[in-house]
Structure 1
Amino acid sequence: MPCLQPSSRIAIMGAGLMGRLLACTLARQGHRIALYDAQGPQADGAAARVAAAMLAPLAESAVTEPGVVRMGQHALQRWPQLIAELDAPVFFQQNGTLVLWHRQDAGDAQRLCGLFEKNRRINSTLPALQMLSGQDLHAIEPATTHRFAQGAYLPDEGQLDNRQLLDALLATLTRLGVEMHWQAPRELADFTPGGAGQPDWVLDCRGLGARRAWPQLRGVRGEVVRVHAPEVTLQRPTRLVHPRYPLYIAPKEDHLFVIGATEIESDDMSPPSVRSTLELLSAAYTVHSGFAEARIVEIATQCRPTLPDNLPAVRRLSERVLEVNGLYRHGFMISPAMLDIVLELLATGDSALARRFDVPVHTAPAP
């Protein structure tokens, strides 16, 4: 695999989270970037626009592999660095995660906390889970007073504002002179990298838009509600143990909250059902009664690009074509690591980080 040369011409397909991060970083290095996307500059077709953008490696260790957890730890170090380089402010918070449960769900909560402890034994660099009494809860999150008798606190976990980040990346791309092509879908066959009048490299970051080239991709549907709740004062992402699905509430700036839970094996992009919306909102109300007077800002769905093992991967389709995909539900938590893996591959043809994070780098199309 050839290495990236100074002032290379690079075509990036897909202007979601990965495409924008790569375009910004490579343009800052002095490369000439052309960015192509099937939608517009607001990233309306990207899973990143609908995400809660939580950075929770210990919380996610209950549902994913150790390599993804290590990527999440990497992200907590990298996001402040990446945000500092942008042309607009982005809300970033590292105030831990709160896990709550009602008395009838104590058995499920005990099993979940047991998983957290088991995974910390596997990865001793994860922070220790802290079990909280009702009095402890009142001290750490006064908004939960009298509603929960116990809970758990996962220190050091974080979150950011996904839409502020996408907008800040766009502003930075504009200043860096990146050539942006909106409503301009492209396929790999549209490029012959290295040829006359062609880019030197092609990076495919299209998510589900790459299914023609990577047919193993599937969509996993997520549904979220954004509300403005001036009476709610939750200070950190809060997860509610639930018998059917785990609810999360991610507080952003100015009393904006992202509430989500559903994870459906489906490519269906239709609006959320009445049932799932009612369940989300009623569960949020049990966490804080102030949600009763909240105003619904948006109810949205999106399908996350997912590979059969629910893990991310990089493919080398040829000497000058790389595909990055499969970020699933962990996009913001693992994208800094995927960014750094691709940068290593471009610079040296190899990636120690890919091995560290157990990210496969296929050298040919998967069968």
Structure 2
Amino acid sequence: MSTLPFDHAHVLGAGLMGRLLALALARAGCAVDVYEAGGADAEGAAARVAAAMLAPLAESAIAPESLVRMGMHALERWPQLLAGLPAPVFFQREGTLLVWHRQDANEAARLAATLQRTQAAVPGLPAMQRLDGPALAALEPALAGRFAQGWLLPGEGQLDNRELLAALFAGLQAMPNVRLHWHSPRAPQDFSPAAHERVVDCRGLGAKPQWSALRGVRGEVLRLHAPGVALRRPTRLAHPRYPLYIAPKPGHVFVVGATEIESDDLSPASVRSTMELLSAAYAVHPGFGEARILEVLTQCRPTLPDNRPALRWLAPRMLQVNGLYRHGFMISPAMLDAAMQVLADQGDALARRFDLPILDTP
């Protein structure tokens, strides 16, 4: 029996947000039909390309305080969500390391000042820790002698995006009240939900025909296999033109990114972007010179005009969840919990806590 005021949900889109919501709805007792234009491997989803870093303070360089609060919520929620999945997912919280080359000290100082303002404004954020050369080498031996100083952002984390997508798929497959419809694109206008039904649209850029404010922001990402590099935590390089992140995954795989281009172009990565990412990674650690390039990936993140997410009632009983931009893994647990609260007719306390707009409420 459903614990929600409806017992049947149609979820459109099976990327990260669609899978999380479908599983939550099924566990609440709903019969759930999931419709996805692609296949079970999430090949067309932005989530498959992402680095899946959970770094609210680091992301505050470009993200507002509301998203920082969502990210803090997610850091505590992810272990709970992962514990309920039928397959293990790599997850760690060893902090984010910020480093810079000597010639970029001014950029690093500007970035550190921004992060310190966020830290002062958002209660509960752990204090940044300044590292001199020896402290940095003790924390991350692979970088010994390469940087004179750095910052540690304690408590931040990451997970393995592809393991998570696969584990969510397995979780949905195991639910007897879930039906998965692959290669079956659907749009909200294909449904006329009755009182006992809801339609939840999680299609990202696929929802642009119904949400014209959406735009794509292109990102290019590398996946490298580098047995000669032993970084233990996500590392960010401060740079005035192409700031870089390197996220270590299991098996000596590293996700390196990411460019950010105002375009919904999904063509292959440019030579320039690829060279910049590779050269920046090599400048962090020369071991990347012998790395093998596993993939050069391109994807567009679904983004609203203010670069913040939103919930929107497209019609009665039709809720859209969109605009996660480059922060999908960092904020999706907060989006999940806020959306489930709204769908359960339990008010908007979480949405207000996160300054998450609920648009066009009928």
TM-score tier by shorter-chain length is over 0.9
The corresponding residue for 1:336 is: 333
Residue 276 of structure 2 aligns with which residue?
279
- Structure 1 letter corresponding to 2:126: P
Structure 1 residue 277, shift from structure 2 partner: 0.5
Matched residue, 1:245:
242
Match of 2:215 among 218, 223, 230: 218
Contiguous gaps of at least 5 residues in structure 2? none
Q: How does 1:217-366 map to 2 (within 5 A)?
A: 217-364=214-361
Q: Does 1:158 align with 2:157?
A: yes
Amino acid paired to 2:301: R
In 2: Cα distance, 1:317 partner to 1:16 partner: 20
Q: In the alignment, which residue of structure 1 is the partner of 2:181?
A: 181
Deviations 1:104-155 (A, max 9, x none): 0000000100111111111131111111110111110011111111111100
User: 2: distance between equivalents of 1:160 and 1:364?
Assistant: 34
2:18 alignment counterpart: 19
Q: Find the residue that maps to 1:171 and give its secondary structure.
A: helix
Q: Is the 8 A contact 1:4 1:346 kept in 2?
A: no
Quote how far apart the aligned CAs of 1:8 are.
Answer: 0.6
For residues 294 and 200 of structure 1, the distance between their equivalents in structure 2, rounded to whole angstroms, comes to: 51
The answer on whether the counterparts of 2:242 and 2:276 sit within 8 Å (CA) in structure 1 is no
How far did residue 349 of structure 1 move? Answer: 4.7
Cα shift readout 1:215-244 (whole Å, capped 9, x = no counterpart): 000000000000111010000000001120
Distance (whole Å) between structure 2 residues aligned to residue 45 and residue 291 of structure 1: 28
User: Contact 1:12/1:19 (CA < 8 Å) preserved in 2?
Assistant: yes
Question: How much has 1:318 moved relative to structure 2?
Answer: 2.4
Moved more, 256-265 or 316-325: 316-325
TM-score w.r.t. the length of structure 2 is: 0.97
CA distance, structure 2, for counterparts of residue 31 and residue 188 of structure 1: 19
Q: Secondary structure at the match of 2:211?
A: coil
Residues 203-214 of structure 1: matches in 2 within 5 Å? 203-214=200-211
Give the secondary structure class of the aligned counterpart of 2:260. Answer: strand
Other structure's SS at 2:151 match: strand
Q: For the Cα contact (< 8 Å) 2:223–2:295, is it kept in 1?
A: yes
- Give the secondary structure class of the aligned counterpart of 1:244: coil
Superposed CA offset, 1:171-223 (max 9, x none)? 0100013201111111111000007xxx7110000000000000000000000
Report if the CA contact (8 A) 2:3-2:28 is conserved. no
Q: Once superposed, what is the RMSD of the aligned Cα atoms?
A: 1.3
Structure-1 separation of matches of 2:138 and 2:145:
12
- 1:84-99 correspondence to structure 2 within 5 Å: 84-99=83-98
**Percent identity of paired positions between Structure 1 and Structure 2:** 63
Cα shift at 1:261? 2.2
Paired AA for residue 123 in structure 1: V
Matched length: 360
The change in CA–CA distance for 1:6 and 1:355 in structure 2 (over 3 A counts) is: closer
In structure 1, runs of 5+ residues without a counterpart are none
4+ aligned runs moved over 2 Å, structure 1: 3-7
Q: What per-residue deviation string (whole Å, max 9, x for no partner) do you get for residues 66-92 of structure 1?
A: 110000000000000000000100000
Verify the 8 A CA contact 2:5 2:345 in the aligned structure 1: no
Q: Deviations over 1:37-90 (max 9, x none)?
A: 111111111100000000001101111111100000000000000000001000
Q: Offset of 1:5 from its aligned partner?
A: 3.9
- Is the partner of 1:328 in helix, strand or coil? coil
Partner of residue 192, structure 1: 192
Secondary structure in structure 2 of the residue aligned to 1:151: strand
The answer to whether the 8 A contact 1:132-1:153 is kept is yes
- Contact 1:7 1:30 (8 Å CA) reproduced: no
Any idea what SS the aligned residue of 2:258 has?
strand
Code of the residue aligned with 2:25 in structure 1: it is L
Aligned AA for 2:226?
A: A
Closer, same or farther: CA 175–84 of 1 in aligned 2, 3 Å: same
The superposition leaves residues 6-28 of structure 1 with CA deviations (integer Å, 9 ceiling, x where unpaired) of: 67110000000000001111111
2-structure distance, mates of 1:227, 1:61: 27
State the alpha-carbon separation in 2 of the partners of residues 123 and 6 from structure 1.
35
Deviation at 1:4, TM superposition (A): 7.0
8 A Cα contact 2:222 2:295, kept in partner: yes
